[in-house]
Structure formats: structure tokens, C-alpha cells
Structure 1
Amino acid sequence: MFIDTLEFEGLGNRSYLAGGQRGAVVVDPPRDVDQVIALAARRGVRIAYVAETHVHNDYVTGGLELARLTGARYLVPAGAQVSFTRTPVADGDVSEVDEGLVLRAIATPGHTPHHTSYVLEEKGRAVAAFTGGSLLIGSVGRPDLVDPRLTEQLARAQHASVHRLAAALDDEVPVLPTHGFGSFCSSSQAEGEASTIGQERTSNDAFTLEADAFVKQVLAGLENVPAYYTHMGPANAAGPAPVDLTPPEPADAAQIAERLAAGEWVVDLRNRVAFADGHVAGSFNFEATGKLATYLAWLIPWGKPVTLLADTPAQIADAQRELTRVGIDRPAAAATGDPATWVRHGERLVSFPRADFAGLVGAHERGEDVVVLDVRRDSERANGFLTGSVHIPLHELHSRSGEVPDGTVWVHCAGGMRAAIAASLLDATGRKVIAIDDGFDAAADTGLSITRP
């Protein structure tokens, strides 16, 4: 028996391939299924089942396509309203994956009303629990993504579900969730990469708190929902189309300028240092090594054409693959190589400064006209903020940039990546910006005034 994990750090999710000598099951597969097929081929197993724990709200699944390509049975919770043919799964259903290896469905509503976990059993003994968006490591899946009217009801169901799951399993059984590694599908961000039922019993608030206290805590801690989530559930319920990962059309300087003039998005995937030093005026910086899919899909007007700029074709290919997972299927065009070739003859790249919090102190001491913009989320700012700073969360900045006061904008987040995105958004509008590439914890050490709750 084996269990392989496919990790998608940009989305904070995991998928799993588990099986025996000949047969295997894939749990919550990614949109780009070629890597799953390749992994199964290396293992020398046939994918007999593709299992979804729920209709996902944070990414586009590859389950339907994977089942079509492999001939696997597509297991989808019976309560999920979908528009394609699948094998409906109800509580207690058992599927034989390989000789002596079965997958047992356990209804665990809470993240969605139809959510189902799967327990892998070898010769009658539970060896793993694929918990999807139910029991996470140190947390649970958030209950507010289906319908605001159901949020409290689903939070209460989430509490009951994890208790039911734990009651059916021994302490040593590994907990293998889909969400929770930075995903916004998690009700709270917890530490840890691996866990067991026993560890969760003693450390997860879903077990240590009574139902009423747990529900109150979950509801109070819910973060903003990424805007693109509204498109994920319907896409998954309808049945996603296959992806096309062939290289996008090459773009020269004239085409890049034309696309910018047409109001399309030109996204520079280079690191924030290189972007600040020189970039195409009007382009936006979303680092390929950051949470590209999450933040680009969250900020871009849905359906807006996007052109990608990067150092190498490999970076374009990696970004293209990641973006398909959130429904941004085909970049309009792409360009790589020397950034100087991305602008027309006679034009120049533009730049803006980077600094740390000590630099901000110096600007204050020199009496400069400084506007400090905090683009962290509400929950982060609630723990402390620079006195006098303006607060516009990054995901709201594109539509609220007109609210930023006049002056040189010193923009910060918690570590620098989101500040770089924000600086590029403001720079594209003609504002004078300085990106603070520094950890927020360093601000206190500089003597800057911080307002605490």
C-alpha cells in the first residue's frame, strides 16, 4: 500500500494518489491531470477511482477529465448538484481500490452540505483518512462558502462531523486533508504539515471546545473570501473542460503596448526586486514564486485577458499551469528574455524605489510628504498597525486606489510580497510609490509608533 501527496503550495492545497500493487484512487485531483497520470504510471498502477470530497470553491478540479482519460469511476458525493454523469457516493459506501484495499465514504457535512471524507482501509484496518475540507491540521474547513444563510448551521455541522470521524478511527490514523496549508478554504491558519486523529483530538479547537464555543470562534475568525471563489463552484458543478497547456502566443513590444492600451492586464512574473528596478509602464508585478494564482485571480476582473512577462519560457509554463487551476485557462500572450525588449524603440522601462522600515523613519525625520499604506488583511491589522497609516487591503486596492491620499506612498504588508503587488498597481496609475520590502515585525524595532488593540 502507498500514499503519494501532490502539493500545490500556491493554493495551499494537496491531492493524493493512493493504492496497492495494481489499482489506485486519486482524491481531489488538480486541474492539470497530466502529472497525476505520470505519477500513476511511475507507480505502475491503474487509476480505478477518482474521488471528490466536495464541489470545490477554491480551485477548478481535474476530476472529470481524469476519469474520462483513465476510465476510472468518478466518485462524487450524492448530495452535490452537478451536470455530468458520475458515481454518486453516500455515507458508508465502499469501493474496492485493490485487493484488500478499500475506500469507505463517511458523510462529513460542514465545509459544504454534501461534504464527504474517505477512509482508506487495508485488510479491514483504517490506514488513512482523506478529510478534504472537513478536519484539517489544527483547524477545519470554513463553513461560509456556500450560502451566508447556512454559515452557522454548517459550522455546527462541521463540529459534529469531525467528532463523528474521530469516533470511527483510531488515534494513529493519519489525517490527510485537501485544504489548510495556506488555503483560504481553511477557517483559520494553523501550523503543521502532518497529523493524526490522536494529535487532532488534543490540539484542534473542534475537539477541545464545546459546540457553541467552537461555532462562535469559527464565525468570528472568518477571513475575506477571494473574489474568484464565486466562479469555482459553478465551474466544477458544470464539469470543467480539459486544459490547454501549449505555449501562449509570443508578444513583442508593440503588442504589449497595444494590450495595455486596450485595458488588458500585463503581468510581470519576475521577482519584486527585478520588477522595481525596471518594468514596462502599466504592468503589474505578481511574483511567480508567490501565491500567484490566489492573488492574481482575486484581483483581476474576471475574464480580463492577461499577458505574462517572465525571465524564461519555463516560468511562463509554470505560471500557465498554476493559473489553469483557478480557471484562468489561456494567457492572451507572453514574452520572455531581456525586459528592455518589452518596450518599443525610444521608450524606457520605469522603476520605483524599495526600502525597509528604517527608511520610512528617515523619511519622517526629513519631513517628507509621506503616506503610509497598509495592504494587509483586516485580521492582520487588528493585531497592530503603524499609527496614522491608511488601510486598504490588497484585494480591494485596484478598485479603491483613488482613496489613497496625495503624497509619496510607502506601501507595506507583512513581509513584502503583497506590498510589491500593491506598489505596482499604484505605479501603473502614475502614483509615486516606495515598496517596503521588510517584515512588519521589524517596524517596532525602528521606533515607529504602532497602535495596538
Structure 2
Amino acid sequence: MTATGAVEHEDRLAGGLVVEVIETSSLGDRSYLASDGEVAVVVDPQRDVDRVIAAAGRLDVRIALVLDTHVHNDYVSGGLELARLTGAEYGLAAADEVPFDRRPLSDGDAVELSPNMQVRAVATPGHTYHHLSYALEGQDGPVGVFTGGSLLFGTTGRTDLLGEQHSEDLARHQHASAQKLAAILPDGAQIWPTHGFGSFCSATQASGDSATLGEQKRLNPALTLAERDFVEQTLAGLDAYPAYYAHMGVQNTTGPEPLDLREPVRAEPEELRRRLQHGEWVVDLRSRKAYVISHLAGTVSLGLDGPMVTWLGWMIDWGAPITLLGESREQVGEAQRELARIGIDKFAAAAVGTPQHLAVDPDQLRSTPTATFADLAAALDGDAGLLPAPAVVLDVRTNNEFSAAHVTGAVHIPLYELKDRLDEVPAGAVWVHCGSGYRATAAASLLEGADRPVVLIDDHFGAAAGAGVPMTDGI
């Protein structure tokens, strides 16, 4: 893991071509830099383009072309800014109307980067109507394809981001696009998708870390199912996606502003207390293990060791003031970078230090009781030990997770809806859980902020049945 949160590796291909993979694991996405040792093309860069420029410098190659496969809904693109900084051309689908200069690309258009490398646009509608994939071609033909939100590892991109009314039509397009890629490219072609590594842009959970087109022909539903069956399966698997997606396409279409990662103004303890008293978002970036031991009352736990950016962006009212609270300047800086990727780049303040250091009064300090599913099973049988007996078990997972299996009698409110539905949580002590503990910790912090007695079940949901917790399969 680099300081910027990128995990990088590379695929070495025939003809001396190299594809550098730049991961953004917090959003479940990948960007790519492909080169022949002298020039490079970048596909689907995130907003923090310094990572891409550093990769090009390390390989000693010149970025000549920047491409986006589609107008992204899950992050702010760095394509326009990267092209501006490097002097590269910026390529987008010709059908996407934008106010800035770019190279318009349509199905079949080829861009020669050198005698050894070119990319060819392939129209692959489905994730969006104007979606393009880009086949990477060497001297002996195609060696791989950048598939964006089209063909992913074991699945495809979701088809409802342009509105539910388009999801069925786009699902049919998605099936046809996958079949098209399979027909025009060799089985040995590598697949380099942008989404599918935890991204909510994926229709269903992706599987695997790399793949060839031939491998996908044997396991990807878009290539193994008939169109009708694929459409039905795709639509049935769709669940809610983050609320901040509504703002991403707008920014990417109008042209994102350059990134500003200057440190926010510091909030001293008295100022911090004032913001907490006013109910502002003060986000504790430490791990949940540290949070439960001690934290400031009213803070929300969204540690950098999990998908902080997704859940904060999903839960807040867009434009609400945010104060970042970290143990170090580095933590605050990392959070800034993560949040800038979804267009949150203006902060009310930041604070650095331990809860004890940042508290004006010791009465501000809180701790959160924790339990396992074995503890829950015992408590439901009447033996809660020193913990408050559970009046309600609250499940904050997604709709699809709850539908698959849940604790019998549990109240279900997804985390992204909890702050607006706190009054629906029955009275009494709340034992809250999710799939692993991360979302449940965020939920516990919201419940504590509403003066509710809460016990955090910091455990994997898969352990519940074996621990003796009564379970219900399906809805």
C-alpha cells in the first residue's frame, strides 16, 4: 500500500507492452497506464492524477493519450486534468456532449500511439448508453481490452445508473456488448475492467483478480446465459447505490476542477466541541478498535481502514460541513484525498490528536461496549452478562444482504438510511451488527449521538448461525 492508497502491479504482454494497474481499493476501481516503453495511454484515471504521473515517471514514458470509458457515476474523473498537465489528448465518446475540448471517439476509431501500440474504441453500451471499451493492440493484433463498466470479472457493470426506467433496456445492451467483445477479440485477450473490486457500479459481486476473455466465456453470465435469463438475473441482483452518485456525472460532464489538497483549517478543542454541539459531521478516522475504547461524544466512526469515502458520501447531506478528526496529519491528508475522489474537497476544519487531547472536558469522552455473535446468542437466552439485555437487534446491511439471511426478529435499516430513520429504532438497548463490524461501528456512533444505549457486535455475520443465533434465510 502506497501513501496515496494505491496498490500497483503490472501486466507484461507480448511485443514489449506493459499495463500498469493503479488500484483505488476504497472505491473498488482500477485505472490503467499502458505503454510500449516510450509512450503511454491512461484509461479511467481517478481525480488524484499525481499517482498516474508518478507511475509514468517511474517507467520513463510520456503520456500521449488519456481515455475515459464513460462518464463516471462513482468518482470524479481525473482525465481532463491529466490531459491538461501532460499535454496529452483526452478521448471520450463522441456522443457525450461536454463543454471542453476532447477527441471524440466512436465505434471502430483507432488511435495510433506508436508503431508498436494503438487503441481501438469499441462501442459497448450497457453501463451507460455511450460506453466505450478500448482494445489495446500491438504489432500482432489485440492483446487485451479496457472494459470500464462493461465486462467485469464474473459479472458486468450495473445498468440502472441512468434511472430505473432504463435498466432493462441497458441490461439488454450490456448482454449484447459482452457478446460483441467475445466475438471480435481472441480468447487470450486480457480483460482490464475499471469497476468490480467492491464498487457499487458492479451489478453483482465480481470474482477474481485477473482474467482473459476465454476464461470469462466459461463463467461470466453475460457470456453463458441467454439474453432473457441474463436480463432477469441482472435486474434481480440490483440493490441501492450510493447517493453521491447523483453528483458525479454532473461534475464529469461539466469538467472537474483541479484538485486542491491543502490542509483544512485546524479546529482547536473548543471549536471542535462547538461543532459537535451543533450536530455537524465530525468524522473520526481512526480504526474502529481505537474508536470503541475512547472517542469524543457526537463523532461518527468511519475509519480509514475501511470504505470511509463510500459511506460518508452516502450518508451526508451533500454540502454539509465536515470536520476530519485524525491521529495525525497523514490520516487527515489521506481522508482528503479519498473524499476528493468523489468531489468532497471543501472541509469545515480538521483536528489532530487523541480524544483525550481534543476533549475540553473529560465528560466528552465515551467508550462503546462490544460483543460477538456468541455473546448475542447468550444474551437472547437471557445471559447478557455485564452488557445491557438486547431490546432490539439492528441489522444495518444492504437490502440484498438482509434478504439472503438475517437474525430472526432483527430490525433492518441500512446504514445509509439510519440517520434519517433513528426514530424507527424501537426503545431500549440496541445491539447493532453488519457484515463484519465496520458499518455497525458507524451505526453505533449515530445511535450514541441520539442518546441510545448501544452494543456493537464487532463480528463477522457468517459466525452468527454457528454461534447459536436464531436465523431466518430469505425474506
Following the alignment from structure 1 to structure 2, what is the Cα–Cα distance between the partners of residues 372 and 305? 31
Following the alignment from structure 1 to structure 2, what is the Cα–Cα distance between the partners of residues 255 and 376? 34
In 1, are the aligned partners of 2:390 and 2:431 still within 8 Å (CA)? Answer: no
Evaluate the alpha carbon distance shift between residue 374 and residue 72 of structure 1 in structure 2; reply closer, same or farther with a 3 A threshold.
same
**1:214-229, aligned counterparts within 5 Å?**
214-229=230-245
Shift of 1:282: 0.7
Q: Which residue of 2 aligns with 1:439?
A: 460
Shift of 1:369: 4.8
Following the alignment from structure 2 to structure 1, what is the Cα–Cα distance between the partners of residues 364 and 280? 20
In 2, are the aligned partners of 1:373 and 1:411 still within 8 Å (CA)? Answer: yes
What secondary structure is seen at the aligned counterpart in 2 of 1:14? strand
1:150 aligned to 156, 159, 166, which one? 166
The Cα offsets for residues 162-220 of structure 1, whole Å up to 9 and x where unpaired, read as 11111111111100000000100000002100001000000000011000110011011
Q: Which amino acid aligns with 1:30?
A: Q
With 102-111 and 337-346 compared, the bigger mean Cα shift is at 337-346
- Provide structure 2 residue ranges, at least 5 long, that are not aligned to the other structure: 1-16
Shift of 1:319: 1.2
Shift of 1:248: 1.5
Shift of 1:361: 2.5
1:418 aligned to 432, 439, 444, which one? 439
What secondary structure is seen at the aligned counterpart in 1 of 2:143? strand
Following the alignment from structure 2 to structure 1, what is the Cα–Cα distance between the partners of residues 207 and 383? 42
What secondary structure is seen at the aligned counterpart in 1 of 2:365? coil
Q: Which residue of 2 aligns with 1:65?
A: 81
Following the alignment from structure 2 to structure 1, what is the Cα–Cα distance between the partners of residues 310 and 234? 22
Q: Which residue of 2 aligns with 1:3?
A: 19
Shift of 1:407: 0.6
In 2, are the aligned partners of 1:113 and 1:154 still within 8 Å (CA)? Answer: yes
In 2, are the aligned partners of 1:363 and 1:370 still within 8 Å (CA)? Answer: no
The answer on 1:310 being equivalent to 2:310 is: no
**1:120-135, aligned counterparts within 5 Å?**
120-135=136-151
Shift of 1:346: 5.2
Following the alignment from structure 1 to structure 2, what is the Cα–Cα distance between the partners of residues 113 and 130? 17
Shift of 1:255: 1.2
Following the alignment from structure 1 to structure 2, what is the Cα–Cα distance between the partners of residues 200 and 447? 39
In 2, are the aligned partners of 1:23 and 1:45 still within 8 Å (CA)? Answer: yes
In 2, are the aligned partners of 1:409 and 1:433 still within 8 Å (CA)? Answer: yes
With 387-396 and 325-334 compared, the bigger mean Cα shift is at 325-334
The Cα offsets for residues 394-419 of structure 1, whole Å up to 9 and x where unpaired, read as 11111101100001100001111111
1:403 aligned to 424, 430, 442, which one? 424
Evaluate the alpha carbon distance shift between residue 147 and residue 369 of structure 1 in structure 2; reply closer, same or farther with a 3 A threshold.
closer
2:196 aligned to 173, 180, 202, which one? 180
Q: Which residue of 2 aligns with 1:200?
A: 216
Shift of 1:370: 2.2
What secondary structure is seen at the aligned counterpart in 2 of 1:244? coil
Q: Which amino acid aligns with 1:393?
A: P
2:97 aligned to 81, 90, 111, which one? 81
Cα RMSD over matched residues?
1.2
Q: Which residue of 2 aligns with 1:18?
A: 34
Q: Which amino acid aligns with 2:467?
A: T
In 2, are the aligned partners of 1:249 and 1:332 still within 8 Å (CA)? Answer: yes
Following the alignment from structure 1 to structure 2, what is the Cα–Cα distance between the partners of residues 373 and 261? 26
* TM-score, length of structure 2 as denominator length: 0.93
Following the alignment from structure 1 to structure 2, what is the Cα–Cα distance between the partners of residues 180 and 361? 35
**1:162-311, aligned counterparts within 5 Å?**
162-311=178-327
In 2, are the aligned partners of 1:20 and 1:99 still within 8 Å (CA)? Answer: no
The answer on 1:374 being equivalent to 2:390 is: no
What secondary structure is seen at the aligned counterpart in 1 of 2:465? helix
Following the alignment from structure 2 to structure 1, what is the Cα–Cα distance between the partners of residues 78 and 164? 27
The Cα offsets for residues 117-172 of structure 1, whole Å up to 9 and x where unpaired, read as 00110114111100000000000011100132211111000000011111111111
What secondary structure is seen at the aligned counterpart in 2 of 1:26? strand
Shift of 1:347: 3.7
Following the alignment from structure 1 to structure 2, what is the Cα–Cα distance between the partners of residues 88 and 259? 47
Q: Which amino acid aligns with 1:247?
A: E
Q: Which amino acid aligns with 2:134?
A: Y
What secondary structure is seen at the aligned counterpart in 2 of 1:193? coil
**1:304-383, aligned counterparts within 5 Å?**
304-345=320-361, 347-364=363-380, 365-366=382-383, 368-383=389-404
What secondary structure is seen at the aligned counterpart in 1 of 2:242? coil
Following the alignment from structure 1 to structure 2, what is the Cα–Cα distance between the partners of residues 376 and 85? 43
Shift of 1:247: 1.5
The Cα offsets for residues 61-87 of structure 1, whole Å up to 9 and x where unpaired, read as 011111111111000011112222211
Q: Which amino acid aligns with 1:359?
A: D
Evaluate the alpha carbon distance shift between residue 65 and residue 284 of structure 1 in structure 2; reply closer, same or farther with a 3 A threshold.
same
Following the alignment from structure 2 to structure 1, what is the Cα–Cα distance between the partners of residues 104 and 163? 23
The Cα offsets for residues 265-316 of structure 1, whole Å up to 9 and x where unpaired, read as 1000111121111111111000101011111100111111111111221111
Q: Which residue of 2 aligns with 1:138?
A: 154
With 267-276 and 344-353 compared, the bigger mean Cα shift is at 344-353
What secondary structure is seen at the aligned counterpart in 1 of 2:81? helix
The Cα offsets for residues 101-131 of structure 1, whole Å up to 9 and x where unpaired, read as 0010000000000000001101141111000
Q: Which amino acid aligns with 2:349?
A: A
Following the alignment from structure 1 to structure 2, what is the Cα–Cα distance between the partners of residues 358 and 419? 16
The answer on 1:384 being equivalent to 2:405 is: yes
- Provide structure 1 residue ranges, at least 5 long, that are not aligned to the other structure: none
In 2, are the aligned partners of 1:372 and 1:409 still within 8 Å (CA)? Answer: yes
Following the alignment from structure 1 to structure 2, what is the Cα–Cα distance between the partners of residues 348 and 332? 21
In 1, are the aligned partners of 2:279 and 2:298 still within 8 Å (CA)? Answer: no
Shift of 1:20: 1.3
Following the alignment from structure 1 to structure 2, what is the Cα–Cα distance between the partners of residues 223 and 147? 13
Of all paired residues, the percent bearing the same amino acid is 51
